[in-house]
Structure 1
C-alpha cells in the first residue's frame, strides 16, 4: 500500500512535517509512506492555467495522488485557516478529480491549545467538497505540538506516537476496503 503524505508547511523544521515523518516510521513493512516535498513548486492557481498542458509540478502532483492508495495531509493553522500554499494545491486538484473517493487522513498541529482545530475543520470541509473519503479515525488534532517533540523534531510523547499509529491504521484499513470494493 502506498500513502502520499503532504505537509502544509514549507519550513524545513516544520512540526507538521515532523509528524508525518513520525507517522511514516510507524508504518508496517507492507505500507510505504512517501513525503511530498514540492508544495512550493506549484504555480499560483488560476482556472485559465488549468488545461491539458498544465505545468510539470501540477502534473507530477496529480500523478502522485492518482497512484497513491491513500493520502494524509498535516497542516498548521495560519490566521484561523489552512496555509495559502496548501489551499493553492487543493485548487489545482478541484477540476481533475484525484480526491474523488480517495481515502484521506487529516492532521492539524499547533503550538496552541487548539491544535489548529480551525484549519483542521477548514481542510476537512474542503476535502469533503472534493469528495474525498475521510475515514473515521484517520483524523487528529495535535495541541501543544512543540512540547511533544524533541529539538530534532522526533516525537517524544508516547501518547502522540499511539495517536499517529491509530490514524495510520484507520487510513490503511479504509484504503484496503476501498481498493477491494
Structure 2
C-alpha cells in the first residue's frame, strides 16, 4: 500500500478530544501509531487546551499562535485521525472550540477524516462529530470508523497495540483511512 506514495510518506494528524493526560482516547491514537505501517508519519496535536475561545472577529487580524499552529498542522496533514470522548451526550466543548477555529479556513475541506472511539457507548458524540465534520466539508471515511472499549481498564498504548482482539480492529480502521489518501502528484 505504501509503495504508491514513493518517497513522500502519508502524514496523519491526530486530534484527541480529551484534555486529560491519561485519556483512553489519547491511548487509542498512540496505539494506532504503533501499529501503523512503516513510513506512515504521525503527528499528535496537543494544543487543544491552548486555543482561545472561538471568536470570528479574531479571524480578521493575525490569528493567535495556537490557532495558526492548528491550522498549519491540519493543512500539512494528508489525513486526520480523531478520537473523542462523549460528555453529556455530545462533543466536549474544548474540542468543538478547536473545530470551530477550522470553519473559516481552507485546511479541512476535502481532507480524509477517521473517527476512532474508545467507548462504544459514546455514539451520540460520534454522530455529532460526523455531522459537524461533514458540515465543514471534511471527507469522513465511514469505513475507517472503529469503536473499542478502553474505558474499563487503564492500559498503555503498547498493550492496546499488541492486544490480539484490539489490534485487528485498529489495523482495519487505519488501513481504511490510508486507502483513501491520495498519493502526491508528480511533476
Task: State TM-score, norm by structure 1.
Answer: 0.89
Structural mapping, 1:55-74, within 5 Å: 55-74=64-83
Matched, 1:77 2:86: yes
Partner of residue 122, structure 2:
116
Cα root mean square deviation, aligned: 1.7
Q: Distance between the aligned counterparts of 1:173 and 1:140, measured in 2?
A: 15
| 1:158 positional shift | 2.2
Deviations 1:11-53 (A, max 9, x none): 1100000000000001111201111111101000011112240
Aligned partner of residue 71 in structure 1, secondary structure: strand
| 1:151 positional shift | 4.1
| 1:124 positional shift | 0.9
Partner of residue 161, structure 1:
167
Q: Distance between the aligned counterparts of 1:133 and 1:141, measured in 2?
A: 19
Where structure 1 has 5 or more consecutive residues not aligned to the other structure, the ranges are none
CA contact (8 A) 2:82 2:115 kept: yes
4+ residue stretches of structure 1 with deviation over 3 A?
Answer: 149-154
Task: State TM-score, norm by structure 2.
Answer: 0.87
| 1:176 positional shift | 2.8
| 1:109 positional shift | 2.2
Partner of residue 47, structure 1:
56
Deviations 1:43-87 (A, max 9, x none): 000111122401000001000000100001100000000111110
Where structure 2 has 5 or more consecutive residues not aligned to the other structure, the ranges are 1-9
CA contact (8 A) 1:15 1:109 kept: yes
